[in-house]
Amino acid sequence: DVGQLSTMTEAGSKREINPVAEMENWKSAVTKEQQVAGAFESNWGYLRARPEECKPRAYETRLVKYFSGANATVKEKRLALEGEARGDTPMTPQAEKVTEDPQELNRRMAASMYRTTACEYGSRGSLGLFGA
């Protein structure tokens, strides 16, 4: 019969599926989902923040470069602003800001550029030990 669907059960026997019963099962599942969604606020609503407690989010768009092997692509990325840039924290007073000397910063960067993690070069033996 064209109106009847059949499937194989675990035992290997055919079980007839009635399309009307399938529709009733679907309606029952949808009704249950709607009931659960309606009861969400009373059961779990206390976990949700009140709208007046939510801070507005600020974003900016920046170009970001992605590397894949020898290829590089540039895409626009939307980034959330944090802290002072977002405007939800008070500005740090100028007297409390730490100013870095650009020359000292460059000196420290140059000194650390070619340093190994162990801070030693040639700490291992020669490859001549292995007959290379």
Other beta carbons less than 10 A from residue 43's beta carbon:
9
* Top-confidence residue, 77 or 89: 77
pLDDT at 59: 80
Please say whether the beta carbons of 83 and 55 come within 8 A: no
In this predicted structure, the answer to whether residue 84 has a pLDDT above a threshold of 90 is no
Confidence of residue 27 (pLDDT cuts 50, 70, 90): very high
- For residue 55, pLDDT beyond 80: no
d(CA 97, CA 104): 17
The per-residue pLDDT for range 2-13, each reduced to its tens digit, is 444 555 555 556
